[in-house]
Structure 1
Amino acid sequence: MESSSHLDDLDFQNVAKLNLNKVSSGISKMGYSDGITEGREVMFQKGFDFGYKDGLKTALEISKYEAAAKMLIGKSNNDELVREIQKYRQEKFDERYKAKYFKCNNSKDLQYDIVSSQHNSLLDKEKEILRAKFPNFSNLLG
């Protein structure tokens, strides 16, 4: 028969193992949860950074044309330029671009750099269209 102190040691070891397993399991779950949370935060930040950069670039390009059109429409003596500006304003470029932009942005499964590249390509194509349709107006803006 085993001695009482030996049984006490075995009980203590069993309790210690159970406690260690509980603590380890809890720490493991917390670590997993923290890792998921941090991963999400990193991805959200990365997405925000790409979106902010692309959105700012797009907004500046659109605003450049919009501001120039408003400023020049009543002040230019160049009839050709005035006709181009009037035609530009009738086409509502900013609204047409937004529709294309959001259609391009509908791909949730693509990586940020791919979506960013698509947005930049779209903006470059739209600027080429503007340059072709409105050469005098576009040349003023560089």
Structure 2
Amino acid sequence: MTSDSSDDEFESISNANHNKISQKMEKMGYKDGVHDGRESQFQKGFDDGYEQGFKNGFLLGKYNGQLTIEPTKNDSKSDGKARNDLILQRPSRGQCILCTNPSLKDDSIKDIVNKQNEHMKRIESTLESRYPSN
């Protein structure tokens, strides 16, 4: 009988230890999953923002290049208008839709990104009409 009671006690202690260890492992797994999820979302957001910023910067740089070489042109298109173009003179001003319209801060990130993309398309269209490609 002593053997049965010690076996029952051992089983009870083993079950309690197993449950305690299982709960700790579940918590650790959950924490690791949350951390990994945050990290991957952060990286994806950074990558998306970097790509969008690069495209916008490249677009403005392309037209800013025209500003640089325009004074050396001798054709009839060169009237100095690029030197006075505010879009090209101050590319950091007016290119950020959120900076020009702070009320958008309450919109979702997705909506802000969509509006920024639409804004940059309008800027590209404006620059293309002012400085058509040859």
TM range (shorter): 0.7 to 0.9
- Once the two structures are superposed, residues 104-135 of structure 1 have per-residue CA deviations (whole angstroms, 9 ceiling, x without a partner) of 797487355x4432222110111233345xx2
Q: How does the TM-score come out when normalised to structure 2?
A: 0.80
CA RMSD of aligned residues (A): 2.8
What displacement does 1:85 show?
Answer: 1.5
1:46–1:121: structure 2 CA closer, same or farther, 3 Å change rule?
same
CA distance in 2, matches of 1:7, 1:50: 64
Q: How does 1:29-108 map to 2 (within 5 A)?
A: 29-73=27-71, 75-78=72-75, 81-88=78-85, 92-100=89-97, 102=99, 107=105
Mark the CA change 1:77 to 1:84 in structure 2 (over 3 Å): closer, same or farther: same
Give the TM-score, by structure 1 length.
0.76
Whose helix fraction is larger, Structure 1's or Structure 2's? Answer: 1
Q: Structure 1's 90 and 97: CA in aligned 2 closer, same or farther, altered over 3 A? A: closer
Map residues 111-126 of structure 1 onto 2, 5 A cutoff.
111-112=109-110, 114-126=111-123
One of 24, 27, 36 as aligned partner of 2:25:
27
Runs of 4+ in 1 over 4 A off after TM superposition: 101-109
Percentage of identical aligned residues: 25
Contact conserved, 1:62 with 1:94, CA < 8 A, in 2?
A: yes
How many residue pairs end up in the alignment? Answer: 133
* Cα distance in 2, alignment partners of residues 127 and 89 from structure 1: 14
Where structure 2 has 5 or more consecutive residues not aligned to the other structure, the ranges are: none
